[in-house]
Structures are given as structure tokens and as C-alpha cells.
Amino acid sequence: MLSLVLPPLYAILDPAQTKDRAPESVLRNLLEGGAAILQLRVKTMAPSDFFQLAQRARAETRTHGCKLIVNDRVDIALACHADGVHLGQEDLPLAVGRKLMAAKLVGISTHNLEQAQEAERNGADYIGFGPMFGTTTKDTGYAARGVDMLREIRAAVKLPIVAIGGINEQNVQQVWQAGAESAAIISDILDAADIAAKVRRIRSLG
């Protein structure tokens, strides 16, 4: 496993959330704002289109010194030479993803203490934890976890934590103060009129 220091903001590019803006344009905006780690999250594209977008994202993120994480798909992460993959609880088992990714980063979504501890035992480099607050981006099937549960997770595991779910510019400091090294923010950033400026404002809060 790699030793990972997460930046305060964990940016996510989801083409399904970019509305009338081209994903490539939004990607450039995120990087112009100073995103240092970016997850490419694609749920609806054909694998060939996902791979092509991942290749473009890899080229852009490398130019800006930004780590690229591919959501769900180990094959695409490896094919585009991403820095890592992020798995969900229903994706490939973490131990399998860890073996396939070798020394690259492997993160996994968790929603409770048991999942977080299992992630640490099975070789994750970091965990996503949430949903922190109410979210319209993804139906996780879990109620909002809140900062008290985040503090419980922080006390129980040593892994870096990315908090996710309903986080925005107004409440992001709550999750940092509760122990998350990083905050994943989707809608509040992708819906902004000036994405780069929004990213810079959130980064300045950390």
C-alpha cells in the first residue's frame, strides 16, 4: 500500500451531473481551481466511452500534478494508468481489487464501523464514509450518518477518511473538524456557475 496524504478536497467528476457542460470542460475547471485528487465517476457510459474519457482525464490530471482515481472499474483504472481505483461495497471484493491494483491506490466506500474496520484489515489505502448528510447525487440505501458517527469511525481506524454525501461549502468544515482528512463534494461544485472559483473557495477553508 502507498502512504497517502489526502488533500482537504476530494473532487469528483461525474458526467451525469455536469448538465449542459462538457465533462472535459468541467475537468479543466476543477483542475484550474487546484484539485489535487480527482475521482472519475461514470455510471451510464459505454465502457469504450468511459475509457476514452479516462484517458483524457489522465492526460489532464498528470499535467496538473493531480491524482486520478477511477470509480468502480479496476480494468479502466489500469488501462488508463490512473493512480488508483475506488470501490463500492458491491463492486469487486477489496482483497481482489488490492491484488489487481498492486501498489496503486485502492479506496472503498463504507457506511458503518464494521465496514470501515474490514477495509483497514483488507488493505484499503483510504475509506470513503457516508452519506454524511442528505444527498441527491446517489441513493446509497443508508440514512445520513452525521458527524457523531464520523468521529466514531475516526477513533476506530487509522486509514485516511474521505467524507461524502450532502457536503457543501457551508458544512464542509464540520466534517474536517470531526476527523475526515478530505471531503468529497459533487453537486455544490458541479452546479456552481464558476466551478474553478468554487473549488478555490472550498480549498481555502481547509
Active site residues: 41, 109, 138
All three cell numbers of 52: 476514452
CA 102, CA 7: separation in Å to the nearest integer? 23
| Alpha carbon distance 206, 197 (integer Å) | 15
Q: Which residues of 52-68 are buried (b: 16+ CB within 10 A; e: fewer)?
A: ebbeebbebbeeeebbb
Contact yes or no for 180/6 (Cβ under 8 A): no
R_g of the chain computed on alpha carbons: 16
Contacts of residue 176, Cβ cutoff 8 Å, sequence gap at least 6:
8, 183, 206
C-alpha cell at 104: 496503486
